[in-house]
Amino acid sequence: MSIMLLAGAFGGFLNYLNNFDTVEESKNSKLAISKYIFLGIGAAFLVPLFLKMIASNLITIVNKYDNCNYLIFTGFCLIAAIFSRKFITTLGEKILETAKRAEKIASESKQESKTTQLELNNTLDRIEDANLAIHINTRKEAIAPAKNPEKELYNLVNSYIIKTSIPDYTERLKLKAEFGRKMGEIIITNGLPKEKLLNESKDEGMFLALAYSVQLSPDVNGLSILNKLSPKVSQLYTKYAILLGYKTLARNGFIIREDVKSIYNIIIKFKETADKPLLRNIDETITVLKFIDQNIE
């Protein structure tokens, strides 16, 4: 503390006398000398922070401390005081830059964690979808149709936006997946006309229901439904469900080479507002389509 105080004051005085880092206009002021002495002391007291930033152990307490380090530390304080304005400004900018970089890294880590969690949830959802698809295909005749399936479907569609609009991101996606499976199952098991539902409804919930119905029970009409559905959707999760539908149709042989180009042009538009998980799914869908036509890009 004594070294920083004395070296800071002496360095500030040298700065004032020799114009190392002074402003010419301020030298005529009566308080100029005090100003530069205090600036020098302030800069000297920032030296420990500077040493910490450059990972120096100069002021670390050890069993055998070399007395020469006192002279070196004094030199640091003296240089900081002589060039006090530049030293303080540069150190401040460096600290702010480091803070911004740390904030950026933390933000990227948080986003990466969210993406990983989303991918895990998507994988679990796809397993659940596959199990439901097997259940529907093997027990379609055994499942009793609902008394009023259209009313049940529209009740879910009308409550979809409200019930899935919750702050928690992971829980929100989980709810959307549950709604999609339930609505898709109602359409499939009750044989509801998909074209009619698509033409009569403008709700995002119905769009998701139709996308899930294609994914859970792919057939020759599924491609037409997805192609007409794609330009209408707005939510990223519905686009994700459509991509799953395209991949399901491709894997089941319901997409031929002549269809690939038009599908590619549709899904490439999803990139305009896509987040990282959706972009990854777009790339996966394009990879699947390339097995049918390698010249789509």
Least confident of 9-23, 81-95, 269-283: 9-23
**Pick from 183, 145, 141: nearest CA to 161:** 183
**Pick from 23, 16, 61: nearest CA to 38:** 16
Q: What is the pLDDT of residues 207-237, one digit of tens each?
A: 999 999 998 889 999 999 999 999 999 999 9
CB atoms within 10 A of CB 201: 17
Q: What is the pLDDT of residues 166-199, one digit of tens each?
A: 888 778 888 888 899 899 989 998 889 999 999 9
What is the C-alpha separation between 9 and 53, in angstroms, rounded?
23
pLDDT at 142: 45
Q: Which residue has the tokens 């794609």?
A: 230
Of residues 28 and 60, more confidently modeled: 60
- C-alpha 275, offset from chain centre: 7
Least confident of 50-54, 141-145, 255-259, 262-266: 141-145
- pLDDT class for 69, splitting at 50, 70, 90? confident
pLDDT at 28: 59
What is the rounded (10 degree) CA torsion for 200, 206, 212, 213? -40
Task: Quote the tokens at residue 20.
Answer: 């190392």
**Pick from 269, 226, 219, 271: nearest CA to 245:** 226
What is the C-alpha separation between 114 and 182, in angstroms, rounded?
26
pLDDT of 275 over the 90 cut: no
Q: What is the pLDDT of residues 121-169, one digit of tens each?
A: 555 555 555 554 545 555 544 445 557 889 999 999 999 999 988 888 7
The answer for residues whose C-beta is within 8 angstroms of residue 279's C-beta and 6 or more apart is 271
b/e burial code for range 69-93 (CB count within 10 A of at least 16 → b): eeeebbebbbbbbbbbeebbeebee
pLDDT at 230: 93
By the 10 Å C-beta count (0-12 exposed, 13-18 middle, 19+ buried), 292 is classed as middle
| pLDDT average, residue stretch 244-262 | 92
Contact between residue 183 and residue 212 where contact means Cβ atoms under 8 Å apart: yes
What is the C-alpha separation between 13 and 8, in angstroms, rounded?
9
b/e burial code for range 99-135 (CB count within 10 A of at least 16 → b): eeeeeeeeeeeeeeeeeeebeebbeebeeebeebbee
**Rounded to two decimals, what is the model's pTM?**
0.57
Q: What is the pLDDT of residues 45-64, one digit of tens each?
A: 989 888 888 877 777 766 66
Q: What is the pLDDT of residues 78-114, one digit of tens each?
A: 998 888 888 888 888 888 888 888 888 877 777 666 6
Task: Quote the tokens at residue 99.
Answer: 């803070």
- C-alpha 280, offset from chain centre: 13
Q: Which amino acid is at 216?
A: L
Q: What is the largest CA-CA distance in the chain?
A: 99
